[in-house]
Amino acid sequence: MKFSRICAVLILATATFATCNLSIAQDAAAKPKPAPKSPPAVETATIGGKTITINYSSPRVNGRAGKIFGKDGLIATGDKSTYPVWRAGANESTALKTEGELTIGDLKVPAGSYTLWVDISDPDSWVLIINKQTGQWGRTYDKAQDLGRVPMKMEKPKATIENLKYTLESKGKDKGELKLSWENHEAEVKFSVK
């Protein structure tokens, strides 16, 4: 009799323990994860029959307008290891993949995968950097891997651009435009596809 009571108590305790653990696991799974501060984003376009894709993370201005660019800005103080070269996004390096050969400005970019960086030495005159190193974290920049650099045309947007955004736009047949917009800056560069 004692043995069966002990067994019954053990079975009841085990069932209670399992139910509690299941309840805790369900509560943990039900709680949504907070949205990332700089969510991943993708911009893709088919121009001249070739697909071009930019994978990046999109930081937010978050009330810091006028405090992001410049020698004392957020980028300069946060990315000290690479400043004035900026990953042109957040988190991992911004990735460019092209199925066709691009000519960006005067720079020939063979089909393949690259990372995009921007030299912001002059916050009002950016230079796009195409780098051959891929898959690295956003603060791992190796100038020796640069394929080349291209000046960008700058514009001031009508209003603050909260979310960093890349745009690839067709400009007819085999021509396009790459635009990077964030905070109080818009930078663009024309390209063609072969």
What CA–CA distance (Å, rounded) separates 182 from 173?
28
> What pLDDT was estimated at residue 142?
95
* 168 in the same domain as 125: yes
* 5 in the same domain as 66: no
> What pLDDT was estimated at residue 38?
92
* 189 in the same domain as 102: yes
Q: Rounded to whole angstroms, what are the CA distances from 39 to 15, 36, 43, 57, 187? A: 42, 5, 13, 5, 21
* 79 in the same domain as 171: yes
> What pLDDT was estimated at residue 41?
97
* 17 in the same domain as 77: no
> Which mean pLDDT values do the consecutive 10-residue runs of the chain (194 residues) have?
56 50 54 83 98 97 87 78 89 96 97 97 94 89 97 96 97 96 97 97
Residue 93 tokens, joined: 């390096």
Q: Which helix (H) or strand (E) is 191 found in, with range?
A: strand 185-193
Q: Which domain holds residue 134?
A: 40-193
* 98 in the same domain as 10: no
Specify the number of domains making up the chain: 2
* 60 in the same domain as 154: yes
* 99 in the same domain as 71: yes
* 58 in the same domain as 78: yes
Task: Work out the end-to-end distance of the chain between its first and last CA atoms, rounded to an integer number of angstroms.
Answer: 87
What CA–CA distance (Å, rounded) separates 170 from 191?
10
Q: Write the Ramachandran bin of 143: left for phi over 0, alpha for psi from -120 to 50, otherwise beta.
A: alpha
* 90 in the same domain as 55: yes
* 117 in the same domain as 25: no
Q: Which helix (H) or strand (E) is 41 found in, with range?
A: strand 40-47
Measured in residues, the chain has a length of: 194
Q: At 121, which amino acid appears?
A: S
Quick one: DSSP state of residue 32?
P
Residue 48 tokens, joined: 């001249």
* 97 in the same domain as 177: yes
> What pLDDT was estimated at residue 22?
46
| Separation of CA 123 from chain center | 20
> What pLDDT was estimated at residue 29?
60
